[in-house]
Amino acid sequence: MHKINEITKTRVDNLLKEIDFPSQYRDYVWKSDNWEDGFPDIFNLEKEIRTAARVGAITRNHLVAVAKWGGLPNVGRIKIHEPLRFMIFEDDKVASWAKNFPENVIRVLEGQIQGFGPTYTSKLLRFAAPEIFGAIDTRIVRVFGKGVHGKNPNQILDLNATPIDGRWAILSSQAAWPREYATWIVILTYICDKLNESRICCPHPRIFIDEGLRVEGKWLPADVEMALFYYASTILSHRGGIMNGIY
């Protein structure tokens, strides 16, 4: 199991003081997904991909659905041998090796999927097991990563996002990838635990609770990631640095 260093922990604790997580979660918007409508696309993707992942039946269609939701161009480049060799569940729970070493799950997927980079590989995991995983996207890395000159006082990730052909990308060639995905999961889990211990409830849309995807009020790492994504989006919007249509 990975741990975060004291500097990172202090910065994460500062985020907990600064950010109203329930508000950021409620304000999250991506395409058709918004809180008032019950995050319908996220709900459908979670329900479908969670079910497929638990029986080892993830197909290319699932990957294409995630890619289209996120705005990935050139979905025709996505190639796999169906179904994915992706068995991370034991007795309907994420296996300890996957839970404790998320970077190894990334490696397993990267070895089988063409056309996905770090962002979309992590999104697939987020929909497959939101109780353990969250996505790591370019907005998160641009706000919480190393920064252009490696001097970001809010840095909690040893990663950079790179502009390529009018959009941003997290390059898998970085020395810290996929190690820093494990750091990200530890951070999301830490924030989850703090919010749940403090009884700061997550305002899940009712449909997630009724369908058994969430326990009322209890944060999961994927929920924290949604709040941080919206927070990062707001920061970038103030900087004038968001490229529309790319998650």
Q: What is the pLDDT of residues 14-66, one digit of tens each?
A: 999 999 999 999 999 999 999 999 999 999 999 999 999 999 999 999 999 99
- CA torsion sign for 43, 48, 51, 52 is negative
Is 100:1 a contact under the CB 8 Å cutoff?
yes
What integer pLDDT is reported at residue 3 of this predicted model? 85
For residue range 178-236, list pLDDT tens digits in order: 999 999 999 999 999 999 999 999 999 999 999 999 999 999 999 999 999 999 999 99
Cβ atoms within 10 A of the Cβ of 31, count? 12
| Amino acid making up residue 142 | R
**DSSP conformation class of 79:** B
What integer pLDDT is reported at residue 152 of this predicted model? 85
